[in-house]
Amino acid sequence: QGLKPLVPTESSGPDLIFGTSKHAPGLPTTDTYLSTNKVPDLQKVFQRSDGLPVHLKRGYPDRMLYRTTMALTIGGTFYCLVALYIASQPKNQ
C-alpha cells in the first residue's frame, strides 16, 4: 500500500546528460552555448589588477550602468526628502 509513484520509475526515453562536454543527441552541433566556455576569459578580465573595482571592469557599459544607478539613487533620495518636507508643512485652511 503506501504512496504510489505518479511517474513510472523506468525511463523509456534517452538518458539525460549532465555536466559533460559532449553534445546532446538530437541537437545541432552549431549551438555555441554547448561548446564555448567563456568562464576562463571572464576570469582573466575580472582578476586583472588594474585598480578598478569589479563592477567597472568591463568598460563603458559598466560605467554607464553605474552612473545611471547613482543618478537614480541621488534623484530618488532628493525626491523623497522634498516629498517629506512638503508633507510636514502645516496645511492652511
pLDDT in tens, 20-57: 566 666 666 555 556 678 888 888 988 889 888 888 88
pLDDT confidence of 11, banded at 50, 70, 90?
A: low
Residue 29 C-alpha cell reads as 552541433
Supply the CATH classification number for the domain 51-92.
4.10.91.10
In the chain, DSSP assigns E strands to none
Query: What is the C-alpha separation between 37 and 19, in angstroms, rounded?
Result: 13
CA distance 47 to 57: 9
Give pLDDT, residue 85.
96
**More confident: 93 or 39:** 39
Phi/psi zone of residue 53: left (φ > 0), alpha (ψ -120 to 50 degrees), beta? beta
Task: Check whether 86 has a pLDDT greater than 80.
Answer: yes
Cα separation, 39 vs 59, in Å, equals 18
